[in-house]
Structure 1
Amino acid sequence: MLPGKGVLAQAITAVAVVVAVTGGVALAAPPAEAPRATPAEATGVPDAARARAHFEQGVALLGASDWAAALGEFLLSRRFYPTPKATNNAAVCLRELGRFDEALEMVESLLAEFPALSPEMRIAAESEAERLRDLVGAVAIEGAEPGATLLVDGRRRGELPLRAPLRLDAGSHRIRVVKEGLEPFEATVEVEPRRTARLDLRPRAIASARGGSEPGIERRGGAPAQERDPRAPERSARSRFTIELAGAALVTPTFGGAIAGACGEGCSRSPGLGGYAAVRGGVRLAPWLGVGLALGYLAAHQTVSGRATAIQPVGLAPRPGTADDMLKLRGVLAGAWAGVTIGERPSLHLRLGAGALAGSIGDRRTGTFSSRAESSYRVGPVGDAPSATFACLAPEVRVGVRAGGHVELTAGIEGLLLVGLSRPRWRATRLVDAAEDGAATFAGDDLAGRVLLGFAPGVGASYAF
């Protein structure tokens, strides 16, 4: 919101929006009939009525804090017939949308296009321009191919060469220069308030590795410099190495198998819950394409209660009963990934990982079973944790925002599809204490299904070198 814009708005007579000194925006009481252009304004200006209609619609949208839609109406009003009111309100909307560079240009337009502004209005506008300059810098692009299109953070900002340095909000910006038939140039630029960053696209001379000079080649510092085509992206932008740390909650509907998957009448089970952490390293092959390797660890557990089963005492008939099982999956994930990135500020990352999980599935079991004397006895807790190996496929969607020139913070969800390469089973030869029935064993049941499905919503942070 424009600091000081309360004074500016009050100074514009009959303006439909009053901006409070405290920073709030409120609609003034509407006049009995819509504001009309003065006779001087209306004379020979067929578009004055259309400008007024768009202005009034913008005021209504401004009152609803619909800044983007209001901005569109005020800009249309200015296109048909520019007035101080529409110009001021457009600047208010741009400031609320965080587009400080454009807000500054709009305030400067207010000062330049309306020399008859009252002294109070002009002082307020000049003061606001100074405040906005503390939030805005510029970038000067030199040596670009004439007619090339300039894009900043994915938005088209004109054709090169520019008449003057391009104003931008302070911070990190992705600069892209494209022209049909030429390879695009791309780089990240840090813009500081009230300062101008310079981006030189002119070709750099190179030194011959053989020590001789050729046209367009020169030696710098006694060592060969790297040849660079000014129409190609900077090498750091095309193949930037990244490292990422990510953490997520892990949810799986069921472990499946003969334990969780056979929970029928009288049995209850919880969903599988746990956590997942990973570190990923990658290289960007293009501004939109990356590949890399990943290493992670996951752990999850699922509780099954009241499962009908039986225990087998040695030399005796099976004893029916119920068991409670705490299933635990643990393992190390390793694999590779490939992904695409769409957009900038924020960016959408789509990634697919593939690899393997090596670990174990454990079962901590207690139970109650009938004895020979028609009484019952408890068994356990007893446990087993056979090794388990799975192939893994992991699609992922993430949204990222930059927290500086090299750091990006992300949030998203990853799917885990685990396909068993081994069959983790309870060891049927494992002896357990069955009270008066002596030693006994449990059946060699599968502790997990052949396919496990999980979901991992989480956050992460990456650093680009």
Structure 2
Amino acid sequence: MAGWILALGLLGAETRAEPADDTAKFDIYTGEPLARAHSDDEAPARAHSDDKAPARAHFERGVARFDRQEYREALEEFRKSLEHKRTRNAMGYVASCLKQLGQYDDALEQYEAMRSEYPELPPRTEATVAADMAELAGLVGTLVLRGDVPAGASLFIDDRFRGRLPLDKPLRLSVGSRAVRVEKEGFAPIATTVEVKAGRENVAELVATSRKGRLRVSERHNWPLEIEIDGKATGAVTPWEGLLDPGEHTVRLRGFLDEEALLSCDVPGAMPGGKWAAARQGAKMESGVKTVNVRLYDVAEVVLGAEDQDASLKIESAPTGARLWIDGKEVGQTPWEGRLPLGEHAIGVRADGYLYARQEVTLERRKQREVTVALDRVPGFWTAEFWTARTVGATAGYGTGVLGLGVFAVSGVLALNTSADLKQACPGGLCPRDRAAQKERAHALGVTALAGLIVGGAGAVAGTVVLVAARPEREEKRVTSAGTAWEVGVGPFGLSLGGSF
């Protein structure tokens, strides 16, 4: 310290003295030799008339305060001088002020900056700077941060900002107890203290009290959808940002969106206060599942694109008011309109007095479907539809069969009873003459029963053959939907259904 002040003092003295050789004259402000071509009276006039006047004025006030040991005020004056014009003497005085204030690390850095800007210092000045730097090196230590060192965080030493993490090199600090604090927006500060010892590496272990990371989730179209994290609904709506435990997490978006907004890709309006609200009805939306790695005291961002997962379907029937089933579940009456997941669905329609109708419908993304089902009446006993040739033939066959079986049953019973009486009256098979007529009646009843059995069996077979083999022309009814044609008909085994796409 004394050496630097002495060196500057000598420079200053040389500007005030009257040596015999004017080559020894120096400007205390710049540290440069005074021009030999001018007299002593002309040189100061030239120095004060150029654009360096503000810098020189601050410098001279700084020297005056330095001489009065007002080092903090002097430091401010020298820094203001440097703002107007950088000179090696002003930089040297700044280093001296920092040293007097106990900021040894800053003083050392100031000397290094001075040497960088003025690599060829005069020998006497170089010797003074080298000695001062050697003294300062014994009054500082280096700081190394370990543990929870979040990238991009701000480092404060004794409430003074010292840079962004990670540091590109160890930080020099003056000896003594130092308060270390790391701050990053959105997270709790990390603080510790370290006892800095001179000439050695000092380690500050940082331990975060709140071990969290931050996740930012948004939808590609800025649609407000509900967020699922690790398979659980969070109740949050995109866009969203919040704290999570470090590690891997899965994220998915789900919800509903107004159909007009979906088709136009517009963003629905926000609620009062600027908050977004998820819709409770409309087009069902869902994104894929994405895995994101959240790191401690870091911000991870994920952008997901949601797509509609259902389509609009409208179902009508003739007659209207029919009961409606979709995928085996009764959903109400026709007409019906709603949204269903994409893909194939089974539709069933039934009304009193009509045949049940069933069909399949395929729903595609962003395509509304309309389906109309026309039901066929159930044929009544007294209607012409019922009394078709097939029905009449089958009825006649089964009627004949029933009549024959009836004759068989009655005649058979009478034949059995008559035979039982003859058996008692004719021991050994020999019957008296008065039993001859009874014997003939038993024989006739047996023949009649056999004939009834044959006729009954033939009638049943004939009715079945007519019902099965006599296939009438199909009565078909087309059921139409957008892009689909359906056919419902009555065949020998009941209702039949066909379709084309």
User: What's the TM-score bracket when you normalise by the shorter of the two chains?
Assistant: 0.3 to 0.5
Q: TM-score, normalised by structure 2?
A: 0.34
Higher strand share: 1
Higher helix share: 2
Q: TM-score, normalised by structure 1?
A: 0.37
